[in-house]
Amino acid sequence: MALARTGREARLTATRNAEKTQGQATLPEMLTGQILTYLREQGFSPGNHIPAQRLADFLGVSRSPVSRALEILEEHGQVRREPKRGYFLDRDTDKAELLGQESAIEATYFQIAEDCLNGEIPVSVSEAMLKSRYGVSQGALNGLLSRMLREGWIEPRKGYGWRFSTMLTTADALMQTYQLRLALEPAALIEPTFHIHDATLDRLEETERRLLAGDIETISARNLYEAGVLFHETLAQASGNPYIFDALHRVNQVRRLIAYRSMIQRERYYKQAEQHLEILMILRHGQRQQAADAMRHHLNSVILNLRFLDATLTKASGDTARNSG
């Protein structure tokens, strides 16, 4: 058994050394933090089996880098491998070191997002240009592109290269999306076809309480954004009107990057989480008109809190216009 483990460790080390160039993190190393975050968000506990294929599907990569990432996590004692059974969570992810979750891949991801908002990179790019600019390996770049493609802010060009999708880059544009949401989301709650299960309300409430208990300060900007999207899109879907859900989903895709920047000030998310809980409580009592009124108040309060974005995005708007012309 010791010889088998030594051989596997040697292969892992050789693979990682081969993938590294000039100190760049490999794709498996960059995936470790995302895997631990996923396990935490999904409520995995020590002893739970880790489904490698589900991880690969979620991360938009093949099984191979996921398997190597799990081997790295095993080296750090955060998961354990059982022969013919796969990997199991060995430590509480809340207490685990996230192995650069916010360093390697997250730092590069958000740098690309910032550069897009600031108009510092062209709309159409090649993989060679991205690798050179951000100093990442091909494997790491594949992971980043897969994530951006899945989130809707980049798309492959016909034949060669990539093109950044049309995204919101100004505070005024973001305010316009909230005006649309003010028309849609309260109306969703009073649709005749609206129906939501208690289990769904329980799940949403648990997420909001975790945020108030500390996640607002500790989770990544991406996961904080996704938590808000989950709340609002779940209620829109419960309306039974697919057009309301589709419109909201499209808005959430194009506002993603500017929403990340707005997360510089996280204090406001405590109030938002409390307002989400209030809406859920009202819905539990079947008072949908009151819930619609509370949703309208919630969205208006968010608009007031976003005024600080104007100065931040003035330069981004001008530079983006110049680079896309």
Mean pLDDT within 214-223: 84
User: Among 217-226, 231-240, 285-294, where is mean pLDDT lowest?
Assistant: 217-226
Residue 147 confidence (pLDDT) above 80: no
Angle at 224 between CA 220 and CA 228, to 5 degrees: 165
Name the one residue in this structure whose structure tokens are 């999708």.
165
Q: What is the mean pLDDT of the chain?
A: 80
Q: Which of 15-29, 51-65, 74-88, 197-211 has the lowest mean pLDDT?
A: 15-29
Q: In the predicted model, what is the mean pLDDT of residues 159-178?
A: 81
C-alpha–C-alpha distance, residues 239 and 261, integer Å: 30
Q: Quick check: 311 pLDDT over 80? A: no
Banded model confidence at residue 310, pLDDT cuts 50, 70, 90: low
Amino acid identity of 238? A
pLDDT of residue 3: 41
CB 175 within 8 A of CB 303: yes
Of residues 225 and 43, the one with the higher pLDDT is 225
Contact of 168 with 177, CB cutoff 8 Å: yes
Better-scored residue on pLDDT, 189 or 105: 189
Tens-digit pLDDT profile for residues 107-118: 788 889 888 888
CA distance 241 to 71: 45
Judged by average pLDDT, the poorest of 79-88, 89-98, 154-163, 300-309 is: 89-98
Band of residue 315 on the pLDDT scale cut at 50, 70, 90: very low
Share of the chain above pLDDT 90, in %: 35
* 169 vs 236, residue with greater confidence: 236
Amino acid 309: pLDDT: 55
**Which of 8-22, 102-116, 259-273 bottoms out in mean pLDDT, i.e. has the lowest?**
8-22
Can you list the domains of the chain with their CATH numbers?
2-89 (1.10.10.10), 104-164 (1.10.10.10), 171-315 (1.20.120.530)
pLDDT at position 243 is 96
- The structure tokens 């892992």 sit at 12
The pLDDT of residue 149 is above 80: yes
| Distance in angstroms (rounded) separating the CA atoms of residues 305 and 322 | 29
Give yes or no for a contact between 153 and 165, defined as CB atoms under 8 angstroms apart.
yes
Question: Residue 156, class by beta-carbon neighbours within 10 Å (0-12 exposed, 13-18 middle, 19+ buried)?
Answer: exposed
Alpha helices by DSSP H, listed for the chain, are 2-19, 27-41, 52-59, 63-75, 104-118, 127-134, 138-151, 171-189, 198-210, 216-218, 221-238, 242-254, 256-262, 268-284, 288-305, 309-324
Q: Give the per-residue pLDDT at 26.
A: 61
Look up residue 288 and give its amino acid.
R
Q: Is 120:320 a contact under the CB 8 Å cutoff?
A: no
Rounded to whole angstroms, how far apart are CA atoms 34 and 226?
A: 14
pLDDT in tens, 93-105: 554 444 444 456 6
Residues 177-199, mean pLDDT to the nearest whole number: 95
Mean pLDDT of 131-139: 85
